Chains A and B, each alone.
Chain A
């Protein structure tokens, strides 16, 4: 029995979600009295990859190959299956990100290995093997048991804190079967991100605004606040639909679901569809002039009043706090 964790590096580094998956996998291995290996896909110095050891992984297989620079689920699955074979892994851990969502189901189907996607806690291993995950768009949890010998878990980001343990891991190259694989997909990236913009999906702090802002020209104060907090900006669905803000900023049932530590909602009423995308946030602050806005029921802190007065004041208060605490 052994655990294999699969993560990717981004610009040569592990991101927060990857470190969470690595630590989670190492903790699962220790619960099962076995060891965890990491398959790291992408570039990265051996020193950076050896850091996985600090999160409890003994060995790192480094899959750095030109063919892996684009995401082909068929190729990634092949590589992961080969790494599972090599390490004798019967538990596979990935992050519940774009790669995990596309690849884990494929491997689950091929191996007929039970998959829990989007786990929010460590498994319970006494008397079977069960894992808790979010269901009904965050409105409930389900505890699932996996009955197959081989098991796969994808971990929801920002759910299980990392645990530091151990020292550097040993790193070796692993590119089995990649040369022989010819991808049928043609993939081209078009990046439009501005320098310094914080990507929304993994952001720790998110500042979001809705129709209460009255027009796209009023987003300056939202962006200023986001800048002070090193936060990503987001918006509600109506605002994306009328074109005030780009669609990739839309959080909610049909947009993206986020789980930041702090979510600040400005001029958003809090329809159930919006809440479905943000109810995984650790702390929610709602600023709205309508004291009856449903969002206040889901909020930890609320400010009733005019956003155009409150937001600049809040920004100022955060700035003062940062100066005093830097």
Chain B
């Protein structure tokens, strides 16, 4: 089974969110970068589990400059076989998806996995776009994934239950919580990752959308503390002040 896993570099969840260059760029100063959790914990780890039971290879692919190599090494340490870095500043979801689709076309990947969204731009776009560009079936938000009789069998949490979707291969799947458990790379994995191959290719795709400016939400006013013995007051405030009941 030949699997391609799309990964993205994102700021760690606890990072301070601030902007520079007239609020047009995320301020990376002192920010710790990680592999997007949906890409790493769910998509990559499930890909490795499938490889361990069915054989095959797991290739990771990311779009970004040389500075993203640490997260590539991390993914290789967790167990991916090799990596592709598309040497381009990822300007929007389309330029990212098109660069990945152009690479993947004709390479014989049976499964292309991505996290359901990144925790920085929260778009949920790249997986669906790759599927569209390669005209492949797409299962989004899968919380379970198996391969059975040469097909992908995925479960998706829906309102009040689950949907079980079976798709022929190749297909594109976006991963949600539940697909796998996070793995911590061990020393052997970290050592092995140092010598694994990272293929660097170039790409030049124009974006379809551009960030004009970032803004921060207005600071929240201080919490109003209510005496525990006076719940009538809380209900009254929710009604007359907050107007939510």
Contacts and interface: CB of A to CB of B under 8 A. Distances in A.
A27 to B, nearest CB: 20
B129 interface: yes
A122 interface: no
Interface of A: 70-74, 77, 96, 98, 101-110, 112-118, 130, 133-148, 184-193, 197, 199, 201, 205, 229, 247-248, 250, 253-255, 261-262, 272-273, 276, 282-283, 285-286, 296-306, 309-310, 313-314, 316-318, 320-321, 325
Given A285-B238, A318-B235, A110 B224 contact: no
Interface stretch (B69-77, B80-88, B196-204, B206-214): B206-214
A314 B161 contact: no
Contacts of B94: 108-109, 112, 114-115
Contact of A117 (B11, B17, B124, B137): B124
Contacts of B138: 73-74, 102, 106
Interface in B121-166: 121-133, 137-141, 143, 156-166
B128 A104 contact: yes
Nearest to A289: B228
Contacts of A144: 209-212
Contact of B244 (A104, A133, A145, A262): A262
A227 to B, nearest CB: 14
Given A137-B122, A140-B214, A254 B177 contact: yes
Interface string B63-101: 000000000000000000000000000001110011001
B208 A112 contact: yes
A206 B105 CA distance: 45
28 contacts: A71-B163, A73-B137, A101-B124, A101-B128, A105-B123, A105-B124, A105-B127, A109-B132, A114-B94, A130-B212, A136-B120, A137-B119, A140-B215, A141-B217, A142-B121, A143-B211, A144-B211, A145-B210, A147-B210, A186-B167, A191-B161, A205-B245, A248-B157, A297-B220, A303-B225, A304-B228, A305-B228, A320-B235
Contacts of B109: none
A195 to B, nearest CB: 10
Contacts of B93: 105, 115
Secondary structure dominating the interface of B: mixed
Contacts, number: 263
Interface residues of B, number: 81
Contacts of B189: none
B242 interface: yes
Contacts of A262: 238, 242, 244-245
Contact of A192 (B130, B160, B223, B226): B160
Contact of A303 (B14, B211, B217, B228): B228
A144 B94 CA distance: 14
B178 to A, nearest CB: 6
Nearest to A156: B122
Interface string B1-44: 00000000001011001010000000000000000011001000
A105 B117 CA distance: 12
Contact of B231 (A73, A130, A272, A317): A317
Nearest to B138: A73
Contacts of B223: 286, 296-297, 299-302
Contacts of A190: 161-164
Contacts of B159: 193, 199, 201
Contacts of A297: 220, 223
A191 B140 CA distance: 19
B167 A184 contact: yes
B185 interface: no
A27 B124 CA distance: 25
Contacts of A201: 159
Given A276-B119, A283-B242, A141 B215 contact: yes
